[in-house]
Amino acid sequence: MQGLLPNNLAKKILQVAPKALSKPLALVPFSVKADLLKRILGLVLAEQAADDELEFLQQRWVAIEVEDLNLTFEVSYHDGWLVRPLQNAEVTFKSDSKALLLVAAAKEDPDTLFFQRKLSIEGDTELGLEVKNLLLGVEFDSMPTPVSTAVTKLAEALQSLQRKAEPHVA
């Protein structure tokens, strides 16, 4: 019976954590979330911005829907990041926070998640592929140390919980 407790606890944490985060996140004004998202994108994609690799995003909007956090926004790039509420994006990426965290930490491939139906891409396929290739080209080690460390630690904790939540096969 004690062996089941960690599995059940891990499952519960994986189910409850996004719900627990989504409630306070809903109270944060969109302008504050948008400012934070711009800063994160600026840090993570600074090298690509400096190399003019973001030109394909000018006048184009990409939506991100983090379903389990009820977080939806659109991004574009024009001499800096633009973030706005969902309006009329050309392509939409939908997933849950767990899958997106694993992609961000380079622990999971977006194509694998797509074929497992854990990530959906709807709309302009060409723009979606350009965005996906941009993200795959991000050198995780080139991110600022606090960002890469935080993302790595969160992803490792998530993977540990997922392993504990899986039923053991005898």
Entry pTM = 0.82
State the Cα–Cα distance between residues 129 and 134, nearest whole angstrom.
8
Q: Where are the alpha helices (DSSP H) in 28-90?
A: 30-44, 46-50
Q: What is the pLDDT of residues 92-135, one digit of tens each?
A: 999 998 888 888 787 888 888 888 898 999 999 999 999 988 88
Q: 145 phi and psi, to 5 degrees?
A: -55, -45
pLDDT tens by residue, 127-167: 999 998 888 877 766 677 777 788 888 878 888 888 887 76
The pLDDT mean for the chain works out to 85
Give the integer Cα–Cα distance in Å for 161 and 63: 29
CATH of domain 4-163: 3.30.1050.10
**Domain locations along the chain:** 4-163
Q: What is the mean pLDDT of residues 66-82?
A: 94
